[in-house]
Structure 1
Amino acid sequence: MTNRQGAFSSKSLRFGLVIAVLAGVATGTLFWLQLRSEQRASLDDLTRRAQLLGHRVSATAIKVLRASPEEISNITGDRLDGHSRLLGMVVFRDDGSLIASGDGLVDLIEPSRSTLTQALSSSQEQSTLLRNREGSTHVLVQPVRDEIGRVVGAVAVLHDALYLDERTTRGILRGLIWSLGVTAGMFFISTGLVWTLFERPLHKLADWMRRLRFANTPELPPRNLPVSKLADETVHLAASFRAARSKERAEAQEIVRSDKAWTRERLRAHAIDALGGLPLVVVSNREPYMHQLRDGKPTLVRPASGLVTGLDPVLRATGGLWVAHGAGDADRQTADAAGCIPVPPEDSRYTLKRVWITKDEEQGYYYGFSNEGLWPLCHLTHERPVFRADDWALYVQANQRFANAVLEEIGDEKAVVMVQDYQLALVPGMIKAKRPDIRVGLFWHIPWPNAEAFRICPYRAELLQGMLGADLLGFHLQQHCNNFLETVDRMVEAKLDWDRFSAEIKGHASLVRPFPISVQSWDERGVASGEALAQQIATLRRQNRLEGVNVGVGVDRIDYTKGIAERFRAIERLFEKHPEHKGRFSFVQLGAPSRVHIPRYRDLITELEAMADEINWKFQDATTGWKPIHFLVDHHEGPAVYAFLKMASVCVVSSLHDGMNLVAKEYVAAKAETASGDAATTPSAIESEEGVLVLSEFAGAARDLPEALIINPYDTEEFASAIHEAIVMDAKERRQRMTRMRLRIEEFNIYRWAADFLTSLAQSKPPVVVTTAVRSDAPSAQTSDRVL
């Protein structure tokens, strides 16, 4: 990815600004000192001229002082009048009274009185600069002495000093222009020098190191580094990295052949081969890390999402870029100017690029078209899809915004792009329209309905052709792949290859493959273990009044597809059929509020809370405080979820329709071998590796976990019987079932899923150029210009 090397960085700009300001201040100071010197020189020159004039007229002044009033005019004549910058002269007696003056000096005599008084009292020459609205006047007063040296009067010489003010103004302007010029020049010069000599080489070094880490690049380190020793060390670093990477690659190839479990390090090594040295870019609506304001401070939140659960460990392993909607109210202030932030905060492994979407776009694109249209369309739960033309236009607009963000970050480089889920169905085609050389995969995390059900969507052709811009389309189940190809066959003109399971449209072929997603081990997530876990579980039991009882658990977003209402009715029927469980078994439902801007989801929370209250009122024991259902509505963090899963002897997943549902696999992963002390606070090895999973047949996970008790969530009697069976199942059978499921999850973990997807994407046919566009106002599936 580009790092915007074409523009100066903020550090270079700040350094350049400091140097420029210092240079500008220094230049301005020098000009000010020079101007003050010139002012003093000019004023001294004017004073000298006034002194000469005063001396010349002193003899005349003596005569005037001794003459009678009638003789004064004959003596002075025009000798006291001004010319050029000389305004004129004035003769005073020793008592300060006026005897004679030049023409036009009446208004200036009074302002000069203080200078006159000082000169007469001190018998010394005095000068001053008088300022008024019309300008400045220089006044020099010389005492007049008789033959014996006695002061008998004074002569005042007045000059127009306006030219001094004009000269000062011109000097200030000249100094300001020079200061600004020097400031600007030094800013660009110093910024350019710092960027060229230091930051640009270091940026190149950072890019080279990134490529070395994630692409195993064979190129030599960049030249002209600011420190020669740094260049030497980078050569040694490159050699060490390549040696380690070669070992990892050989290990990864051996693992593939031996079919051993995959780890983060092994996926990273395999990704180097699968990606061909190209960076990985994940694109999704949901961001893996969100910042929300709590008590006025940004707080990190990990959103409840199976997509995040699945993909965050992949990018932690491979590195790269995750492009997602910045939905947190503190996301902007925690990201940089480009919307980027390194994540996870405690150990940065990749970059999160946040895309800013307007409230109108979010309402129409996400809550409207995606979740009131596509979501119920793809989940067969008898919820009516709603499609609005305005929502579709905003869906196209938002998809283009995501595509542009990806293209901006990639720049001219190549990359491998993994687009995620139904909110971004058009992004593959939009990326390919601009960069057909980029390899793009799309993974669809929800079910794909049959062709007749999908026909409901009025924008079906646009969506299909946008998806077919991907080189590889992944679904959880083979059945979803079958449904998708049948839909393509009926809705658009495409050439299908059922042997290769591919669809070709306008020369571009898209492979369609099942990739059942999985989870990473809980150990890798830094959750508590041993005594710390035991204390956490004990605290949760005490807070929720669960001491001494078996616990069942459900962990879901509050969504009508998750079958939570059916789950509660099954719990109710359980206590009706088996009252012996009263006081001995409680069910904890962790519910994360989701899409609460949609009325259906807000109403669902209210309905479920009312249902839980009704069942609790019916069966609870007011004496002991026991109740059958604990409905905890909140965004629960991973450590708390893990503690509840570890605590529970039964986990219920009752989806009415689900692509996979990773909660089932998270429960199995939580039932790993237990460290000593984990079961210390439980009545019957609840926190051990034993546990029973009750799983809906309509969740994709049912295909991967046949050892679970598979139920039809619509059949309340069967559902309640399965929960009873899970509670009373003997320890040996519980252990056997859980062991088989756990081994399968450990073998087919999230890293294996990512490795399979990346391998298939790398093996897909190289893309061809496609230059079409999506109409944002398409009224139906009949259109001629489409995104491929």
Structure 2
Amino acid sequence: MVSNREPYIHVQQRGKIAVNRGSGGVITALDPILQSCNGLWVAWGNGDGDKRASGPSGKVAVPPDNPSYTLKRVWLTKQEEIGYYYGFSNEAIWPLCHTAFTRPVFRKEDWESYLKVNEKFADAIAEELQGRKAFVWIQDYHLCMLPKFLKEKLPNQTITAHFWHIPWPSYETFRICPQKREILEGLLANDLLGFHIRYHCNNFLDTVDRELESKIDRERQSIIRGGHETLIRPFPISVDYTDIRQMVQKPVVEDMARQLTEEFGLSGKKVLLGLDRLDYTKGIPERLLAVDRLLELRPELAEKFVFLQMGEISRLHIPRYKQLNDEINMLVEQINWKHSTDTWKPIILIRRHLNYPEPLAFFKLGDVCIVSPLHDGMNLVAKEYVVSSEGGNGMLVLSQFAGASRELTEAVTINPYDREQFAEALYSALTMPEEERRKRMSRMSKTVEENNIYRWAGKMISELLKIEFAE
């Protein structure tokens, strides 16, 4: 397994080394798989305690409480971090692929850092293989050029699968990228390339068709370029249903939920919940404005609910993220001032990092979970919530622009840009009869149970096993 983000981060706290589980959908989905197969995970080591924990080899056994696989860290210089991660990955590719109307920034020096870091990852994998053959499973948009470097350095040793966790844009959007041909050629060095939904597969096929000389077989869903075939497939990612169901019923999660109820004064109130990394694609300002509009339309709801918005600060080195953080702070202050009473304010903004299973405790408390991205490949928060709330009295409000909306069809669906509809959807979710809520949540939970993370992984591995190593 290869990804930018590491599944476990070692941090220094009061002179000691503590371990946090990494955040984000990639970690949520893939950590259980690596634990079950005792594999090797290669990732960027960016925790301030990572080097002390892993030593000269850069390797450490994880998870700390039950070591099941090896994490190998790749070390980056500060300049590489700025250019590869903050620059090309998150100021160029991320806004390019999300229809959230943030302009991408393309810098030559960022691209050069991106290439250098992708080659570092290839060297780290080559060092581990030492002549052996292996399946290499690459994750996401940070490592577009890794497949090409692997094929050049290890031409007959690897079969590579690459899963693209974010949307793939239309050709008209993608064509503005100065490095568009290089990115496409890097991805076409894979043997298997997966997206969440068929729509993104079709966008990729259309992009290649209009940009590169190649043979495209739309019936087989494959692309042949330079004699090499790449299979293009939809694989809707999911979560570990069984682990979440077992964990959410444990006393530790129950205790966490009780502590949170006391900490934030939630007793006797309905709880609306948002749980996101602070990112302009997540629609956080839109949901704050929807809560504001809900109280304008339904003033009788004052003091009846609290909206908890969890949001770990992210990428503040990038100006757009700092602007977003300032905008959220301003909206929370304005809306609370407008609607608060002597004993109540409608919105509580929580910025701390959540270690698993703390998110599950929040899910247990949420009468309504709001997942309102402006554009998202899948969104696993929606799936985690419906599994955590199974048998309870929760309801999911879900953006039609999240890939998850194609599976979780019993959710209250919204267009996050439509403030009036969004506010009415919140009211509908809050006042929905209990029997209907239970039926809807049960159906959605069943969908996640049937299409769980192991089925997702099994489908990709089944496709990989059909591919033979080059001679």
Q: Distance in 2 between matches of 1:767 and 1:464?
A: 22
Question: For residue 580 of structure 1, what is the aligned residue in structure 2?
Answer: 300
**Which 4+ stretches in 1 moved above 6 angstroms?**
none
Q: Distance in 2 between matches of 1:406 and 1:356?
A: 13
Instruction: State whether residues 244 and 384 of structure 2, in contact with CA within 8 Å, keep that contact through their aligned partners in structure 1.
Output: no
The one-letter code matched in structure 1 to 2:376 is D
**Alignment partner of 1:638: what SS?**
coil
Shift, 1:469, TM fit: 0.6
The one-letter code matched in structure 2 to 1:430 is F
Q: 1:564 aligns with which of 274, 284, 293?
A: 284
Question: For residue 402 of structure 2, what is the aligned residue in structure 1?
Answer: 699
Instruction: State whether residues 274 and 371 of structure 2, in contact with CA within 8 Å, keep that contact through their aligned partners in structure 1.
Output: yes
Instruction: State whether residues 7 and 31 of structure 2, in contact with CA within 8 Å, keep that contact through their aligned partners in structure 1.
Output: yes
**Residue 482 in 1 paired to residue 206 in 2?**
no
**Residue 746 in 1 paired to residue 449 in 2?**
yes
Instruction: State whether residues 145 and 183 of structure 2, in contact with CA within 8 Å, keep that contact through their aligned partners in structure 1.
Output: yes
Question: For residue 172 of structure 2, what is the aligned residue in structure 1?
Answer: 452
Shift, 1:419, TM fit: 0.5
Q: 1:631 aligns with which of 349, 352, 359?
A: 349
Question: For residue 546 of structure 1, what is the aligned residue in structure 2?
Answer: 266
**Residue 728 in 1 paired to residue 431 in 2?**
yes
Q: How big is each residue's C-alpha offset from its partner over 1:99-129, in whole Å with a ceiling of 9 and x where there is no partner?
A: xxxxxxxxxxxxxxxxxxxxxxxxxxxxxxx
Question: For residue 58 of structure 1, what is the aligned residue in structure 2?
Answer: none
Residues 257-296 of structure 1 aligned to structure 2 (within 5 Å) = 282-296=1-15
Q: 1:640 aligns with which of 358, 363, 366?
A: 358
The one-letter code matched in structure 2 to 1:289 is Y
Bigger radius of gyration among the two: 1
- Structure 1 pair 439/531, CA: closer, same or farther in 2 (3 Å)? closer
The one-letter code matched in structure 2 to 1:668 is V
Question: For residue 260 of structure 1, what is the aligned residue in structure 2?
Answer: none
Q: Distance in 1 between matches of 2:180 and 2:113?
A: 16
The one-letter code matched in structure 2 to 1:743 is K
**Residue 762 in 1 paired to residue 468 in 2?**
no
Q: 1:719 aligns with which of 402, 422, 437?
A: 422
Scaled by the length of structure 1, the TM-score of the pair is 0.59
Question: For residue 618 of structure 1, what is the aligned residue in structure 2?
Answer: 338
Shift, 1:593, TM fit: 1.2
Instruction: State whether residues 507 and 768 of structure 1, in contact with CA within 8 Å, keep that contact through their aligned partners in structure 2.
Output: no
Shift, 1:524, TM fit: 5.5
Question: For residue 664 of structure 1, what is the aligned residue in structure 2?
Answer: 382
The one-letter code matched in structure 1 to 2:257 is I
The one-letter code matched in structure 1 to 2:53 is T
Instruction: State whether residues 244 and 387 of structure 2, in contact with CA within 8 Å, keep that contact through their aligned partners in structure 1.
Output: no
Shift, 1:449, TM fit: 0.2
Question: For residue 17 of structure 2, what is the aligned residue in structure 1?
Answer: 298
Shift, 1:528, TM fit: 5.7
Q: 1:651 aligns with which of 369, 374, 377?
A: 369
Instruction: State whether residues 9 and 21 of structure 2, in contact with CA within 8 Å, keep that contact through their aligned partners in structure 1.
Output: yes
Shift, 1:594, TM fit: 1.2
Shift, 1:362, TM fit: 0.6
Question: For residue 119 of structure 2, what is the aligned residue in structure 1?
Answer: 400
Q: Which runs of 5+ in 1 are unaligned?
A: 1-281, 674-687, 770-788
Instruction: State whether residues 253 and 357 of structure 2, in contact with CA within 8 Å, keep that contact through their aligned partners in structure 1.
Output: no
**Residue 413 in 1 paired to residue 132 in 2?**
yes
Q: Distance in 2 between matches of 1:639 and 1:547?
A: 21
The one-letter code matched in structure 1 to 2:83 is G
The one-letter code matched in structure 2 to 1:324 is A
Specify which structure has the higher proportion of helix. Answer: 1
Question: For residue 307 of structure 1, what is the aligned residue in structure 2?
Answer: 26
Question: For residue 57 of structure 2, what is the aligned residue in structure 1?
Answer: 338
The one-letter code matched in structure 1 to 2:103 is R
Q: Distance in 2 between matches of 1:535 and 1:500?
A: 51
Q: Distance in 2 between matches of 1:532 and 1:349?
A: 22
Scaled by the length of structure 2, the TM-score of the pair is 0.97
Q: How big is each residue's C-alpha offset from its partner over 1:348-402, in whole Å with a ceiling of 9 and x where there is no partner?
A: 1110000001110010001000000000000011100000000000000000000
The one-letter code matched in structure 1 to 2:150 is I
Q: How big is each residue's C-alpha offset from its partner over 1:47-66, in whole Å with a ceiling of 9 and x where there is no partner?
A: xxxxxxxxxxxxxxxxxxxx
Shift, 1:450, TM fit: 0.4
Q: How big is each residue's C-alpha offset from its partner over 1:469-495, in whole Å with a ceiling of 9 and x where there is no partner?
A: 100000001000000010011111111
**Residue 387 in 1 paired to residue 387 in 2?**
no
- Structure 1 pair 470/531, CA: closer, same or farther in 2 (3 Å)? closer
Q: Distance in 2 between matches of 1:312 and 1:298?
A: 21
Q: 1:422 aligns with which of 135, 138, 141?
A: 141
The one-letter code matched in structure 2 to 1:364 is G
Shift, 1:436, TM fit: 2.5
Q: How big is each residue's C-alpha offset from its partner over 1:513-543, in whole Å with a ceiling of 9 and x where there is no partner?
A: 0000000136459746365544322221111
Shift, 1:610, TM fit: 1.4
- The number of residues matched between the two structures is 470
The one-letter code matched in structure 2 to 1:538 is R
Q: How big is each residue's C-alpha offset from its partner over 1:622-676, in whole Å with a ceiling of 9 and x where there is no partner?
A: 1x2x211111012111222111101111000000000001000010110234xxx
**Alignment partner of 1:357: what SS?**
coil
Q: Distance in 1 between matches of 2:38 and 2:212?
A: 37
Question: For residue 275 of structure 1, what is the aligned residue in structure 2?
Answer: none
The one-letter code matched in structure 2 to 1:651 is C
Q: Distance in 2 between matches of 1:529 and 1:454?
A: 45
The one-letter code matched in structure 1 to 2:428 is E
Instruction: State whether residues 575 and 581 of structure 1, in contact with CA within 8 Å, keep that contact through their aligned partners in structure 2.
Output: yes
- Structure 1 pair 499/427, CA: closer, same or farther in 2 (3 Å)? same
Instruction: State whether residues 59 and 73 of structure 2, in contact with CA within 8 Å, keep that contact through their aligned partners in structure 1.
Output: yes
Q: Distance in 1 between matches of 2:182 and 2:132?
A: 28
Deviates more, 1:487-496 or 1:634-643: 634-643
Q: Distance in 2 between matches of 1:415 and 1:524?
A: 31
Shift, 1:302, TM fit: 1.5
Question: For residue 775 of structure 1, what is the aligned residue in structure 2?
Answer: none
Instruction: State whether residues 245 and 388 of structure 2, in contact with CA within 8 Å, keep that contact through their aligned partners in structure 1.
Output: no
Q: How big is each residue's C-alpha offset from its partner over 1:579-632, in whole Å with a ceiling of 9 and x where there is no partner?
A: 12111111111101111221211221121011111111111121x2x2111110
Q: How big is each residue's C-alpha offset from its partner over 1:289-308, in whole Å with a ceiling of 9 and x where there is no partner?
A: 00111222211112211001
Q: Distance in 1 between matches of 2:415 and 2:154?
A: 46
The one-letter code matched in structure 1 to 2:64 is P
Q: Distance in 1 between matches of 2:252 and 2:148?
A: 49
**Alignment partner of 1:560: what SS?**
coil
The one-letter code matched in structure 2 to 1:643 is A
Could you say which structure has the greater relative contact order, defined with CA pairs below 8 angstroms and 6 or more residues apart? 2
Shift, 1:696, TM fit: 0.3
Q: Distance in 1 between matches of 2:57 and 2:127?
A: 10
The one-letter code matched in structure 2 to 1:654 is S
**Alignment partner of 2:276: what SS?**
strand
Question: For residue 184 of structure 1, what is the aligned residue in structure 2?
Answer: none
Instruction: State whether residues 96 and 103 of structure 2, in contact with CA within 8 Å, keep that contact through their aligned partners in structure 1.
Output: yes
Q: Which runs of 5+ in 2 are unaligned?
A: none
- Structure 1 pair 319/532, CA: closer, same or farther in 2 (3 Å)? closer
Instruction: State whether residues 522 and 670 of structure 1, in contact with CA within 8 Å, keep that contact through their aligned partners in structure 2.
Output: no
Instruction: State whether residues 509 and 767 of structure 1, in contact with CA within 8 Å, keep that contact through their aligned partners in structure 2.
Output: no
- Structure 1 pair 526/737, CA: closer, same or farther in 2 (3 Å)? closer
Instruction: State whether residues 471 and 767 of structure 1, in contact with CA within 8 Å, keep that contact through their aligned partners in structure 2.
Output: no
Deviates more, 1:366-375 or 1:577-586: 577-586
**Alignment partner of 1:743: what SS?**
helix
- Computed over aligned residues only, the root mean square deviation of the Cα atoms, in angstroms, reads 1.4
